[in-house]
Amino acid sequence: MKFSTQEDYGLRCLLQIARRPLEETALTIPEISRLEGLSQTHVAKLLMLLRQSGFVRSSRGQAGGYRLDRD
């Protein structure tokens, strides 16, 4: 199966979020960017698409970030 670059990067972002234990804080855009070697702007765009599609949920504030959406 062949994936586009955007799909590959999106899956990599999802995997980083999925690897984070539930007890820990949510992953932020800068953390995902650093872990995957992608620009923060690109990660933000990917996460916006993933959030709109229902794969992840976001929260604001000091403990904010991204988590998998279990619904």
pLDDT at 42: 96
pLDDT at 47: 97
Enumerate the domain spans of the chain: 5-65
Q: Is 46 helix (H, G, I), strand (E, B) or coil?
A: helix
pLDDT along the chain (71 residues), means of 10: 89 94 89 96 97 94 89 61
Return the CATH class of domain 5-65. mainly alpha
First to last CA, the chain: 27
Predicted structure pTM score: 0.86
